[in-house]
Chains A and B, each alone.
Chain A
Amino acid sequence: MSDLPFSDLLDRLEARDTAPPGDPRAVDPRALADTQLIEGEGVLEAWLASRGLEPTAATHEGFRLLALHRQGARGEPSFNACRETCRELVYLRNVALAYDGDTPELRRTLRLQAMVLRHLALFVGGKMVEAGLGDFCCSSRPLRHRDAPPLQGD
C-alpha cells in the first residue's frame, strides 16, 4: 500500500491489527484510543493543507476532529461523505475510554476504531488523488459545475 497517501498510517494500522497479544505495539489501550483520534486529525490536517488552508485548533462538540471536518467540508459538500466516519471515530474513542482495565471488549473497540480510521484515511487519501471522489454521488454536486454555489444545509 506504499503508493497511497497516508501509507505510513495505513501500514501502522495494519501492524496493530495483526499484532499478537503481548506485543509491545498492543500495549496501553487507553492511550491508543486517543492516539487513533489524533491520527484522524492528522488525516484531516493533510486534506486542509492540500487545499492551502490552515487547520483549525478549535473544537466542535468538544473534539478537534469534528471541527477539522467542518472546516474541510466548507464549500466542499462531498467532504460530508466522511462526516459520520469522523463521528464514529470519536464515538469509539469515547466507548474505549469508558472500559475499566484491559478487556477483550476494549481491544475489539480499539480494533473497530482503527478500521474506521483506515476508512477515513482511504477516503481522504482517495480524494487527494482523485478530487472528484464523493462529488459524483451523495453530495449531489455536478462535477462540471465547479462554479456552482455550495448546496444549502450540508
Chain B
Amino acid sequence: MDGNDLKKVAYYPGCALEGTGHAYNRSTKAVGKALGLDLVELKNWNCCGAMEVKNIDPKIQTYLSARNLSIAEDMGFDTVMAPCNGCYHNLKKAEYDLAHDAASVEVNARLSEKAGHQTYESGGVETIHALDWIKRAVGEDELAARVKNNLKGLKIANYYGCMYTRPRHIFPEKDKGPGSESTAKPHFMDDLLAAAGAENVDFPLKTACCGGAHSLSDSDTSTRLVLNILETAEACGAEVIATECPTCHTGLEMHQVRAEEVLGRKTNVKILYFTQLLGMALGLSQKKVGVQENLSDPRDLLRQKGLG
C-alpha cells in the first residue's frame, strides 16, 4: 500500500479521545486537515474493551475489535487508523487472533451473527497508528516542506509507551529493517518531529513501563515509575516529552502532579502529544491543537520557542 492509499482512511478515535485525550483527537484531526489527509470516522463504533474486557473473556475483546474492523470494511475501507495505543494494540491483537486461533474465529462468527452484522475475517483491513499514517501518507520530506514554524531548539524525549510495540508477534510489519518501525527502539515519532525541526534527545526509557494499568490499584508504584521517566527525560536534556497515546499522556501528566504532592519531587518537563507539536510546526495555533487542555501547562515554553 503506497502513501496515496492512505490519504483517506477510516478513523477509529476510541473512547479516550472523546474524554481525557480530547486534545489528541483535536490535534490529530487538525494535523490531518493541514496535511491534506482525510479521516472518515467509523460509524457507530464501539469501545475496544481497553484493558478490562480481556479479564472477563479475551475472545469477547477480540470480537469488540472485530466489529470495528467489520464496520471499516462495510464502509469500503481497507485501512483503519487508531491513534490510541490501547485501541491500536487491541485491533492488532484481534487481527492476530482471528488469523491464528480457531476458537476466536468461532466466537467472532457467532457474536457477529447474533448482532446482525457482517463477520470480519482476518486480512480484510489493515490497522495503522497515527504515526504510521503521517509517516507513510506524507513522509518526512513533504512534512518538512510544509513546516511554517520550525521546532528548532525544542529538545524532545519521545515516549512511545508499551502497547505500541509489545507483544512483538502482533506487529508483523515491524522489525523489517530500514524504513520499518522497530519494537526495541521505535523511531517513527522521532523521525516526524525531526522533520519538523525538533532536536530529539537520546532517551533510554522510550518504551519503559509506566505502571499505567495499576494507576489506581497501586498508585505509588506508578508514580515512582513515571517520576523516573520524567527525571530521566530531564537528565537527557529534554524540555518536552512527546506522546502518542492518551493513556500514556494522561498517566505522565497525572503522576507528574502526584510525584510533587506525594514524593516532593518536582519536574518541569512538559508533556505534549506529537500531533500538537506537528500542528504548531504546521502553523496551527496553540488553541487549535488543544494546548490549553494539557495539565503540564507548556504555554510559556512554547511562547519562548515562538510556537503557536
Q: Which of A's residues lie within 8 Å of B, judged by CB?
A: 1, 4, 77, 80-85, 87-88, 91-92, 108, 111-112, 115-116, 118-119, 122-123, 125-126, 129-130, 132-134, 136-140, 142-145, 151-154
A-B contact pairs, 24 of them (CB 8 A): A80-B166, A81-B162, A81-B166, A85-B209, A88-B205, A108-B235, A118-B228, A119-B208, A123-B208, A123-B209, A123-B211, A126-B225, A129-B221, A130-B214, A133-B211, A133-B214, A133-B218, A134-B162, A136-B55, A140-B89, A140-B166, A142-B54, A145-B58, A153-B170
Bitwise, B130-151 to A at CB < 8 A (1) or not (0) is 0000000000000000000000
Q: State A133–B229 Cα separation when bound (angstroms).
A: 17
User: In the complex the two chains form, is A137's CB within 8 Å of B54's CB?
Assistant: no
User: In the complex the two chains form, is B207's CB within 8 Å of A126's CB?
Assistant: no
Which B-chain residue is minimally distant from A82 (CB atoms)?
A: B209
Would you give the shortest CB distance from B201 to chain A, in whole angstroms?
A: 10
User: In the complex the two chains form, is A122's CB within 8 Å of B224's CB?
Assistant: yes
8 tightest A-B contacts by CB? A153-B169, A138-B162, A136-B213, A138-B166, A126-B221, A154-B167, A88-B204, A81-B209
User: In the complex the two chains form, is A130's CB within 8 Å of B51's CB?
Assistant: no
Q: Which of B's residues lie within 8 Å of A, judged by CB?
A: 51, 54-56, 58, 86, 89, 93, 100, 162-163, 165-170, 184-185, 204-209, 211-214, 217-218, 221, 224-225, 228-229, 231-232, 235-236
Which B-chain residue is minimally distant from A111 (CB atoms)?
A: B235
Q: State A108–B204 Cα separation when bound (angstroms).
A: 13
User: In the complex the two chains form, is B58's CB within 8 Å of A133's CB?
Assistant: no
Would you give the shortest CB distance from B28 to chain A, in whole angstroms?
A: 22
Most buried by A among B51, B218, B224, B236: B224
Contact residue among A108, A129, A142, A153 (Cβ-Cβ distance under 8 Å from B218): A129
User: In the complex the two chains form, is A139's CB within 8 Å of B167's CB?
Assistant: yes
Q: A111-B235, A136-B213, A140-B93 are in contact. Are A84 and B55 (CB under 8 A)?
A: no
Contact residue among A115, A130, A152 (Cβ-Cβ distance under 8 Å from B232): A115
User: In the complex the two chains form, is A115's CB within 8 Å of B218's CB?
Assistant: no
Would you give the shortest CB distance from A2 to chain B, in whole angstroms?
A: 13
**Which residues in B have their C-beta under 8 angstroms from that of A133?**
209, 211, 214, 218, 221
Q: State A97–B166 Cα separation when bound (angstroms).
A: 30
Q: State A107–B51 Cα separation when bound (angstroms).
A: 40
Q: State A134–B217 Cα separation when bound (angstroms).
A: 13
User: In the complex the two chains form, is A151's CB within 8 Å of B213's CB?
Assistant: no
Would you give the shortest CB distance from A68 to chain B, in whole angstroms?
A: 17
User: In the complex the two chains form, is A138's CB within 8 Å of B214's CB?
Assistant: no
Q: State A83–B206 Cα separation when bound (angstroms).
A: 12
**Which residues in B have their C-beta under 8 angstroms from that of A126?**
211, 214, 218, 221, 224-225
Q: A81-B209, A126-B211, A129-B218 are in contact. Are A140 and B55 (CB under 8 A)?
A: no
Contact residue among B56, B163, B206, B228 (Cβ-Cβ distance under 8 Å from A122): B228
**Which residues in A have their C-beta under 8 angstroms from that of B236?**
112
**Which residues in A have their C-beta under 8 angstroms from that of B54?**
140, 142
Q: State A91–B166 Cα separation when bound (angstroms).
A: 20
Q: State A126–B218 Cα separation when bound (angstroms).
A: 9
User: In the complex the two chains form, is A130's CB within 8 Å of B208's CB?
Assistant: no
**Which residues in B have their C-beta under 8 angstroms from that of A112?**
204, 232, 235-236
Q: A119-B228, A123-B209, A123-B225 are in contact. Are A130 and B217 (CB under 8 A)?
A: yes
